Amino acid sequence: MKIIALMKRVPDTEARILVNQEGTGIKDDGIKYVISTYDEYGIEQALRVKEKAGGPSTVTAVCAGPEEATELIRTALAMGADDAVHVCDPALASGDPFLAAAALAAAVKESGFDIIFCGKQAIDDDMGQVQTILAEMLDVPQVNVVTGFELSGDGSRATLRRRIEGGDEMIETALPAIVSCEKGLNEPRYASLPGIMKAKKKEIRTKTLADLGVAVPGEARSAIVRWVPLPKSSGCRMVQAEEARDAVRELVKLLRDESKVI
């Protein structure tokens, strides 16, 4: 099987994100970058499917991102991916999801695929749409927000569990398909020392959009009008009293009469 794992380079969840002085983006000094959290579940699942499918299966990590992403691609290779495609092009910095999807579509078509794993959303733009646009471009089904995955014996279908409001959907899909992963699907492994050594010798194919035949549109379909910092918290009102009971009564009064939420 040809298994693809998509991975995006994003700021670490602990990073302090602040709007820059000019209001045109975020301050990116001192930010540590990581593989997007949900993509890690995708990489792990790709490796598990390879282990289960056996035979001549391969896992290819595919990343569209800046040069600095190479380091993180090596991490995916160290976890166990066999090789990688790095789409590296300044035009991708626009963050246009349609361009990202077009780049990924061209890359996976070139390498071939039976199944594509990715994250339910990238934890920087939090869009959760690139994978679905990609599925439409490739004309394959997608199953999003997956917490359970089982490959059929012959590798032609999969049964998945997808989280929805108030329950889980059990879905059966034909392959090839795109599967976007949610926390709970698996526990991503750490790169082992031998893995890190081996990763150094694995191939990363770097491509520009032109290499892949992807045209950059003159104008993106949408544009950011402004960045808006989080409104300052208006300050917490501490509800205090000699007796806990009185504080609780005061709280109930505030909830009912001041903020009218109960």
Partner 1 sequence: MSNDILIFGEVRGGALKKVTRELIEAARRVSKDTGGAVDAALVGAGAEAAAKGIADYGLRKITVFEGDALASYSTEGYAAALAGLVKESSPSYVLLGATAMGRDLAPRVAARVDGVMFSDCVDIRMEGAACVVRRPVYSGKVYVELARRGERTAFVTIRPNNVPPAAPTGGSTPIEKRGPAAAREAIRALVREIIPLEGGRPDITEADVIVSGGRAMKEKANFKILEDLADALGAAVGASRAAVDAGFAPAAVQVGQTGKIVNPKLYIACGISGAIQHLAGMRTSKVIVAINKDPNAPIFERATYGVVGDLFEIVPMLTEEIKKALA
Ligand X SMILES: Nc1ncnc2c1ncn2[C@@H]1O[C@H](COP(=O)(O)O)[C@@H](O)[C@H]1O
Query: Footprint of ligand X on this chain (CB under 6 A)?
Result: 6-8, 36, 38-39, 63-65, 97, 100, 104, 118-119, 121-122, 125, 127-131
8, 92, 122 from 83: Cα distances, Å? 16, 22, 22
For residue 242, give the nearest of 232, 234, 250, 231 by alpha carbon.
Answer: 250
Cβ-based neighbour number of residue 214 at 10 Å: 21
> Which partner, ligand FAD, partner 1, ligand X, none, binds residue 237 by CB below 5 to 8 Å per kind?
partner 1
Comparison of 11 and 155: residue with beta carbon closer to ligand FAD: 11
According to CB under 6 A, which one of 13, 152, 192, 222 is a site residue for ligand FAD?
A: 13
Does 183 engage in binding with partner 1 (CB under 8 A)? yes
According to CB under 8 A, which one of 2, 19, 57, 198 is a site residue for partner 1?
A: 19
91, 92, 209 from 217: Cα distances, Å? 10, 11, 12
> Which partner, partner 1, ligand FAD, ligand X, none, binds residue 224 by CB below 5 to 8 Å per kind?
partner 1
> Which partner, partner 1, ligand X, ligand FAD, none, binds residue 215 by CB below 5 to 8 Å per kind?
none
DSSP labels, 81-150:
--EEEEE--GGGGG--HHHHHHHHHHHHHHH--SEEEEESS-TTT----HHHHHHHHHT--EEEEEEEEE
How near is the Cβ of 146 to ligand X at its closest, in Å? 12
According to CB under 8 A, which one of 43, 88, 123, 199 is a site residue for partner 1?
A: 123
According to CB under 6 A, which one of 5, 8, 35, 37 is a site residue for ligand FAD?
A: 37
Question: In angstroms, rounded to a whole number, what is the distance separating the alpha carbons of residues 175 and 143?
Answer: 11
Comparison of 37 and 75: residue with beta carbon closer to ligand FAD: 37
Residues 146-175 touching partner 1, rule: CB under 8 A, are 147, 159, 161-174
Helix (H, G, I), strand (E, B) or coil at 262: coil
For residue 103, give the nearest of 207, 223, 4 by alpha carbon.
Answer: 207
**Residue at shortest CB range from ligand FAD:** 13
Q: Return the H-helix or E-strand segment holding 32.
A: none
Does 262 engage in binding with partner 1 (CB under 8 A)? yes
Comparison of 19 and 196: residue with beta carbon closer to partner 1: 19
**Residue at shortest CB range from ligand X:** 119
Does 30 engage in binding with partner 1 (CB under 8 A)? no
Cβ-based neighbour number of residue 53 at 10 Å: 15
Question: In angstroms, rounded to a whole number, what is the distance separating the alpha carbons of residues 53 and 1?
Answer: 7
> Which partner, partner 1, ligand X, ligand FAD, none, binds residue 152 by CB below 5 to 8 Å per kind?
none
In the complex, the residues that contact ligand FAD under the rule CB under 6 A are 13, 37
